[in-house]
Amino acid sequence: MVRPRATGMTAADVAAALEDARFDARHDSRHEHLADDERGRAELVEWERIEQLLADAASGAVYDPGVDVHEELVAEAASATAREAEWCEAARIAARADELQALRELGTLEQTEPCTGDEAVRDELTRRAGGYVQADVDAWLAHALAAHVGHYRDPAAREEAAGLLTPPVLAYAALLVELVRLVPGPDVDQLAFAARFATVEPEAVGALAAFLTRARP
């Protein structure tokens, strides 16, 4: 066992023991009957871990298995907390995706304000559809982003959306801002052409939106 042997060792002691373990591993690899020695490989990995542990510790520290076990428990608890948070987030996304799907079927999606995290929900709906673009959801998010509706009232949320939404959605939103400025109060159906352009040529539509900003008084 490595930990009892390493107890009280300094970083230099552990480094020497690690070199011995590496020498043994190289020796074993040359002999077929020893090449599959999993215990030797496990001990080598453990020496490497202990070496890193002391490297991260204060100068002059020695190996204490009690401290090591405590840190392992802390790390395991942190890992369990992270896994639980991931599970809760996945469950939240799935539930919100079900909700948006129901709103789509009722024809009331457009009257619904987006919430924080709906960009990930968009991705979930697309995944459920086998990768097909959800045009109505993209249009809903683009309109909300352009009109600063829902969580997009927050400038930080709008800035974050730039890294979460696809280029076509972002380009569509940017063009909507300029089109509504030029022709106030249009119906949603009147702007459907912008979504088609953004889907096919998002870079060109983004450039057009940027160009139209120059026409502002």
String of DSSP letters for 70-94: HHHHHHHHHHHHHHHHHHHHHHHHH
Give the rounded distance of the alpha carbon of 147 from its chain centre. 27
- Domain residue spans of the chain: 2-63, 107-213
Q: What does pTM read for this prediction?
A: 0.59
- How many CB atoms are closer than 10 A to CB 182? 11
Give the mean pLDDT of the chain. 82
Q: What is the pLDDT of residues 55-80, one digit of tens each?
A: 877 777 777 777 776 677 667 777 78
